[in-house]
Amino acid sequence: MSQPDPLKTLHQALLQIVSVLNRPQGDNVILTRADVSLDTALFPLLVRVSMQRNLTIGALADQVARDYSTVSRQVARLQGLGLVNAEPSRTDRRQRRLSVTAAGKNTVKKIDRARNAVMSEALDGWSEAEITEFARMTSRLAAAMQPHVREQRDSAST
């Protein structure tokens, strides 16, 4: 009996994880537990802006695989809610640099606590060592995949 292909197994597991993470229902669970009222379309944008300094609307649109005009409108909604600032870039006035406001940071803290609770439930029964190793290996994979993301983006623009 042959062993299953580990790369195929990994790919299938990653697809299952991405499927769960991309479902708006999962975002609703986190937002409800966080006691945050926010449109699920805005949720990933706020979280990404909070994680990255000097993020532009174009880079954000690329990360969430949405067109620029849609993300620009959604960022305007986050600004209207007082969660995000968009300032013109000092080096390129066509670009706007995004940052999270104090209210946005408070909202993200609530979301982080709720997400950690959901993740803790999913990892129930895992040892601290297993969780630490899984986090390390997943981070390593994410870093290794970044050059491929840039290659895909570059080939799409040619």
The highest-confidence range among 66-70, 90-94, 148-152, by mean pLDDT, is 66-70
pLDDT tens for each residue of 45-61 = 999 999 998 899 999 99
Once rounded to an integer, what is the mean pLDDT over residues 127-144?
95
Per-residue b/e over 85-120, b at no fewer than 16 CB within 10 Å? bbeeeeeeeebbbbbbeeebeebbeebeebbeeeee
Residue-by-residue DSSP string for 58-76: HHHHHHHT--HHHHHHHHH
CATH topology of domain 8-116: Arc Repressor Mutant, subunit A (1.10.10)
CB 86 within 8 A of CB 95: no
For all residues of the chain together, what is the average pLDDT?
Answer: 90
Once rounded to an integer, what is the mean pLDDT over residues 81-105?
91
Take residue 116 and report the two structure tokens written for it: 């950690």
CA dihedral 98, 99, 105, 111 (to 10 degrees): 30
Residue 152 pLDDT > 70, yes or no?
A: no
pTM of the model: 0.83
Residue 156 pLDDT > 70, yes or no?
A: no
